[in-house]
């Protein structure tokens, strides 16, 4: 794959960091977004030292549309042509029942997982269309296919990511721009710690008895989709640990 400029949101940890590492080791140029400047700097330092990667940091909260636009406008001219957009930033807070949850927390989840993805798409994709090349990779989830207890709002958000990915693919069908929805199952990252509001023991229990995916594992799938010849479009990938069958069925060793 020729050298490309890759913009990854939520790149300071987990799947986003894994994607940054995978693209860097294969010689691509990275624009990395995240809220945690310290972690972003650490990722940048690692990628530069290990792979000699070119890395540009854009620290902003993807929920802030004005900040997103300003950050993209601030890129040097030679960095503005984004070839691959990985809409990875996402989160869920809590495992509350739908009739008992926090509306304020749900606002954060919906604003991050759905509205920010839309905003980044709106800001970046017109340039791809104008240049006649590009690839949007949205981070969905198995949760978008299977609702489960205590996850209805998150499941709804990831179902929305599927619909938005499919809709964007339809809207871009007369262009060379590709759209991929990657839907991971159980992945062990800081994601679950946030879900359980910082309770690491509760987060660890989610993966007990099986080998979950890692951020690097999901990055392999993302990179595969991005590295295929441009006439091949991977529309959707559902990727799970071997011992997971659906969103709620998994085999766990006692």
Ramachandran bin of 135, using left for φ above 0, alpha for ψ from -120 to 50, beta for the remaining angles: beta
Q: Are 175 and 132 in contact (CB under 8 A)?
A: yes
Q: Is the pLDDT of residue 254 over 90?
A: no
| Confidence at residue 190, expressed as pLDDT on a 0 to 100 scale | 87
In this prediction the pTM is: 0.97
Taking only the tens place, the pLDDT of each residue in 16-41 is 999 999 999 999 999 999 999 999 99
Q: What is the mean pLDDT of residues 178-191?
A: 95
Dist. CA 170–CA 164, nearest whole Å:
10
Q: In the annotation, is 207 catalytic?
A: no
Residue written as tokens 């650490």? 42
The residue annotated as part of the active site, out of 51, 148, 154, 251, is: 154
Q: Which residues contact 201 (CB under 8 A, 6 or more apart)?
A: none
Dist. CA 236–CA 225, nearest whole Å:
9
Taking only the tens place, the pLDDT of each residue in 81-124 is 999 999 999 999 999 999 999 999 999 999 999 999 999 999 99
Structure tokens at 175: 């262009």
| Confidence at residue 193, expressed as pLDDT on a 0 to 100 scale | 86
Dist. CA 60–CA 32, nearest whole Å:
10
Mean pLDDT (the chain, rounded): 96
Determine the longest span between alpha carbons in the chain, in angstroms.
56
Backbone phi and psi for residue 28, each to the nearest 5 degrees, phi listed first: -95, 160
Q: Is the pLDDT of residue 204 over 80?
A: yes
| Confidence at residue 27, expressed as pLDDT on a 0 to 100 scale | 97
32 has which bridge partners? 8, 57
Q: Which CATH number fits domain 5-239: 1.20.120.1690, 3.40.50.720, 3.20.20.140, 3.30.1050.10?
A: 3.40.50.720
Structure tokens at 102: 């926090």
User: What stretches of the chain adopt beta strand conformation (E)?
Assistant: 5-8, 29-34, 55-59, 84-87, 135-139, 178-184, 236-239
| Confidence at residue 1, expressed as pLDDT on a 0 to 100 scale | 75
Q: Output the CA angle 183-188-191, nearest 5 degrees.
A: 75
């Amino acid at each position: 794959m020729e050298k490309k400029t890759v913009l990854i949101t939520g790149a300071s940890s987990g799947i986003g960091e894994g994607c940054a590492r995978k693209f860097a080791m294969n010689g691509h140029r990275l624009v990395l977004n995240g809220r945690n400047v310290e972690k972003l700097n650490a990722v940048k330092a690692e990628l530069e030292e290990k792979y000699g990667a070119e890395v540009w940091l854009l620290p902003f909260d993807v929920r802030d549309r004005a900040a997103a636009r300003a950050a993209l406008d601030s890129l040097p001219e030679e960095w503005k042509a984004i070839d691959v957009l990985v809409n990875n930033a996402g989160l869920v807070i809590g495992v509350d029942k739908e009739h008992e949850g926090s509306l304020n927390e749900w606002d954060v989840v919906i604003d991050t997982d759905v509205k920010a993805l839309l905003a980044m798409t709106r800001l970046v994709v017109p340039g791809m269309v104008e240049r006649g090349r590009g690839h949007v990779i949205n981070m969905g989830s198995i949760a978008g296919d299977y609702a489960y207890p205590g996850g209805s709002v998150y499941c709804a958000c990831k179902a929305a990511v599927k619909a938005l990915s499919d809709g964007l693919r339809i809207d871009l069908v007369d262009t060379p721009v590709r759209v991929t929805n990657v839907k991971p199952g159980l992945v062990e990252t800081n994601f679950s710690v946030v879900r359980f509001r910082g309770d690491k023991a509760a987060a660890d229990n989610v993966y007990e008895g099986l080998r979950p995916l890692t951020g690097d594992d999901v990055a392999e799938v993302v990179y595969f989709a991005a590295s295929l010849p441009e006439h091949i479009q991977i529309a959707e990938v559902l990727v799970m640990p071997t011992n997971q069958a659906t969103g709620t069925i998994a085999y766990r060793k006692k």
